[in-house]
Amino acid sequence: MSAPEVRVLVVEDDPVAAAAHALYVGRVPGFTAVAAVHSLAEAARVLERAPVDLLLLDLTLPDGHGLRFARGLRAAGHPVDVIAVTSARDLAVVRESVSLGVVQYVLKPFAFPTLRERLLRYAEFRASAGEAAGQDDVDRALAALRAPAPAELPKGLSAATLDRVAALLRSAPEGLTAAGAAGAAGISRITARRYLEHLVDTGRADRTPRYGQVGRPELHYRWLAAAAGSVSNV
């Protein structure tokens, strides 16, 4: 008999990001998004009337902080688990999240593969049941929640430069060419193109040719809207 689907409530104030996150959830086997809401008040109403196993919870919402909401749920004995979604990089907030039993912490912006990996690890942890035979069983259950070490970048790419190019692309709604990114980042056009192509290959950007008056088309790179609304590998 297969395990029942994990019911996820998406809580995110940006409607575009909320829709993207709900779509991501629905693409992961074993998970279903029961709703996507844009405030803590809406989240509380859904939790009152519908069974929810997991909150995909933004921490900065118009009517309060997500961690205070999570603390209230714990105080009330609500069993729902929480994956925190935020652009905040304050490690004090991360520590507080852990103390409240937040099972994962995902930084915005993120692409679908990042969330999929976190959800599948949560499902593995959730499937752990019964009595542990020893320390190894306990360690294995807890290890399921730990994200793997970041994947190595292709040879010749650095994380710092990738962060810089990604930030430039995110801040350019109309997109950038390799030459434009190179000028803004202070690197060569060939180097900029390698970083832009890596962002395309990892699902965080797309590229389209634009034709001028003469000659070959010029490639324009654009940060994906779905990735911009979510936690990140960048």
Q: Is 125 helix (H, G, I), strand (E, B) or coil?
A: helix
| Cα gap 176→111, rounded to integer Å | 19
Q: Are 203 and 113 in contact (CB under 8 A)?
A: yes
pLDDT in single tens digits along all 234 residues of the chain:
466 899 999 999 999 889 999 999 999 999 999 999 999 999 999 999 999 999 999 988 999 998 899 999 988 989 899 998 887 666 676 777 766 768 888 888 777 888 888 898 888 877 765 554 455 544 554 455 565 545 567 888 888 888 889 889 988 888 999 999 999 999 999 999 999 998 888 778 888 887 766 667 789 998 875 444 433 333
Exposure on the CB side of residue 201, measured as CA atoms within 13 A: 8
Torsion-angle region of 185 (φ positive above 0: left; ψ -120 to 50: alpha; else: beta): alpha
- Of 89, 108, 57, the C-alpha closest to 223 is 108
Q: Are 135 and 152 in contact (CB under 8 A)?
A: no
Q: DSSP character for 70? A: H
The owner of tokens 């029942």 is 4
Predicted pLDDT at 117: 85
Predicted pLDDT at 53: 94
The owner of tokens 């970041």 is 150
Q: Are 171 and 160 in contact (CB under 8 A)?
A: no
Q: DSSP character for 60? A: E
| Chain length of the chain | 234
| Statement: the pTM of the whole predicted model exceeds 0.85 | no
